[in-house]
A and B are shown apart, each in its own frame.
Chain A
């Protein structure tokens, strides 16, 4: 599974992209977040307040209850500010 971080989340994790293999019981975004937060203090800080974080799975906006599986591309980022 590929995990991406953008904007200030990338600043906190210190990486923009990583390949991870979460345990089999990680089946949705919420469980993935809980597992990612154990990887480093930076990950924990980036994903601490999920009200400030948006998620995409395979480049579509999703909620925390969206399923995730091996091979997915999961991205975490702040609310967008383009235009």
Chain B
């Protein structure tokens, strides 16, 4: 299931409601992405006061659904949940949740990792960081591209 929303979400409530009572599920993996308060790779860098996430309504859902479908082709998954927020976000706020449920942990771990890696290079979101020096669009990282490419190509 894909949800693209402005509002915050409760990870505990989402986890409790994820695959409840499904005795085929032996493991759940959950990734939670948060807003950092510094620019770039090094803590202590330029302070980020907040960010605004822009997205492409329609294409965002379409791409996320395609990525979920690709994950389900690759691993035997009972449940998939992706929640991605957009709009104004403050440091430490939640941005994204990816959860996967499968009979065995390896499929849950791998598919969760795959989903966040592919999402970061394929889902049409753009981060505008707000700092004391002004606003700037976050540039895509080659390292994110490399992380996505290690999973190979697919239909998504």
Contact = CB atoms under 8 A, between A and B. Distances in A.
Interface residues on B, range: 20 to 34
A81 B33 contact: no
Given A6-B126, A7-B54, A77-B126, A83 B119 contact: yes
Nearest to B51: A81
B140 interface: yes
Interface stretch (B5-13, B17-25, B56-64, B102-110): B56-64
A60 B138 CA distance: 22
Given A81-B126, A83-B33, A4 B56 contact: yes
B123 interface: yes
Name the prevailing secondary structure of the A interface residues: loop
Contacts of B124: 6, 56, 75, 77, 80, 82
A78 B126 contact: yes
A21 to B, nearest CB: 22
Interface in B115-135: 116, 119-128
A61, A75, A77, A81 — which one has the most chain B CB atoms within 10 A of its CB? A81
Contacts of B84: 82-83
Contacts of A80: 120-126, 140
Nearest to B127: A81
Nearest to A7: B126
12 contacts: A4-B56, A6-B54, A59-B62, A77-B56, A78-B126, A78-B137, A79-B121, A80-B140, A81-B125, A82-B120, A82-B123, A83-B144
